[in-house]
Structure 1
Amino acid sequence: MESNGAPALPASFWFAVLRGLRCRCPRCGEGRLFYRWLKPEAACSACALDLTPQQTDDFPAYLAIFVTGHLMAPLIIMLALDFALSAWQMALIVIPLALVMMLGLLQPAKGAVVAAQWWNGMHGFRRERTGE
């Protein structure tokens, strides 16, 4: 918190996104962003930022799929070239790993998208920085 009682805003877009990736409020970095797995809080418990304007739609899922695919591709190629695995063995390794990665990346991706929306004043969020 700053001396006037207002929360200390992040120094850059990337700091705000990092707060979102950590599932924290993009404005103050203190309050939780989600009260359930993908359900955002109505407002930050620390700085009272109204989080209801967020509209992430399917973008976090696209981001999670993109990252998972790019991390899984080298593994799949390595398994196919270096090990004599049957299709079933490949499926038993790749499918659970891909599901875990997708589920693990979905909430941080949604937090990053909410942070990007807040930083840019999109979808009802008020742009709070001046001089930019």
Structure 2
Amino acid sequence: MDMQTMSTASPPEDDRPLVPALKKGWQRRCPSCGSGPMLRGYLKVRESCPVCGEALHHQRADDGPAYITILIVGHVVAPLMLWAFTRWEPDPLIMVAVFSVMTVAMTLWLLPRVKGAFVALQWSRRMHGFGRDG
């Protein structure tokens, strides 16, 4: 098999670079064009990009974004709680109120961004039907 046949048989590795796709996904934009919105509503992924027509229905993010969001929020909030308690020793009710609001706010802000990055990762790596033709 010659080199020309080999290059046409498999997709080039750098035609869908990972880092730019993840940045576009984090911004909740189409990983292909970066212009069209990826999400319809808060977490619902569009069937296709309204700008470039890239099919997005192949995505299989499932529970991954929620898991990663919980992991990130937990690793940020838990040390902050420990630091705040040892530094100021506030009333436990104040701790619960402040850190509950912080946890919910961080989760609501991060979740759609992490989901966008998950879909962009799948698109970039041609997973779950994001192949050459779709």
TM-score by length of 1: 0.85
Structure 2 alignment gaps of length 5 or more: 1-13
C-alpha distance in 1 between matches for 2:129 and 2:44: 18
- Is 2:61–2:119's contact at 8 Å kept on the other side of the alignment? yes
Q: Identify which of 64, 79, 88 aligns with 1:83.
A: 88
Of Structure 1 and Structure 2, the greater helix share is in 2
| Structure of higher CA gyration radius | 2
Q: Tell me by how many angstroms 1:92 deviates.
A: 0.6
Structure 1 residue 31 and structure 2 residue 31: aligned? no
Q: Identify which of 90, 93, 97 aligns with 2:98.
A: 93
What amino acid is the match of 1:90?
Answer: M
Structure 1 residue 57 and structure 2 residue 52: aligned? no
C-alpha distance in 2 between matches for 1:69 and 1:14: 25
- Is 1:10–1:27's contact at 8 Å kept on the other side of the alignment? no
Structure 1 residue 20 and structure 2 residue 25: aligned? yes
What amino acid is the match of 1:51?
Answer: L
4+ aligned runs moved over 4 Å, structure 1:
none
**Which residue is 2:76 aligned to?**
71
Q: Give the superposed CA RMSD.
A: 1.6
How many residues are matched?
A: 120
C-alpha distance in 1 between matches for 2:76 and 2:118: 20
Q: Tell me by how many angstroms 1:95 deviates.
A: 0.7
C-alpha distance in 1 between matches for 2:46 and 2:91: 46
Structure 1 alignment gaps of length 5 or more: 1-8
SS, match of residue 42 in structure 1: coil
Q: Share of identical aligned residues, percent?
A: 35
Q: Identify which of 40, 47, 50 aligns with 2:45.
A: 40
C-alpha distance in 1 between matches for 2:111 and 2:131: 25
TM-score by length of 2: 0.84
